[in-house]
Amino acid sequence: MRRDAVIWQLSIIGEAAGAISDETRAMAPEIPWKLIRGMRNGVLHRYFSVDWKIVYNVATKNVPELEHQVHALLRMLYPEIAARLDQRD
């Protein structure tokens, strides 16, 4: 069940990354947009051959880093939303 939840969350992140405009992506070139989308496609379409070590590393190392990168992007685009998120931390 836990693995399913992680895969689901990664697929949501990948789907969201695919919905971001090219203009916004250009504002954060440090974010690996294509890799994020590729991870989503890989885990959804090849569920029975998923490399769980890769999924674990992405979930524990890459996703926290991505969270900081996206938060920095939010500060640029929507400072009032970023300020509210800062208050939650």
Write down the pTM of the prediction: 0.81
Quote the number of domains for the chain. Answer: 1
> Active site includes 45?
yes
Interatomic CA distance for residues 71 and 47, integer angstroms: 30
Q: Tell me which residues of the chain have a pLDDT lower than 70.
A: 41, 44-47, 89
Residue from 43, 51, 54, 40 nearest 12 by CA: 40
Point out the catalytic residue in the list 2, 45, 68, 88.
Answer: 45
What's the pLDDT score for residue 77? 96
Owning domain of residue 34:
2-88
Point out the catalytic residue in the list 2, 25, 37, 40.
Answer: 40
What's the pLDDT score for residue 21? 97
> Active site includes 40?
yes
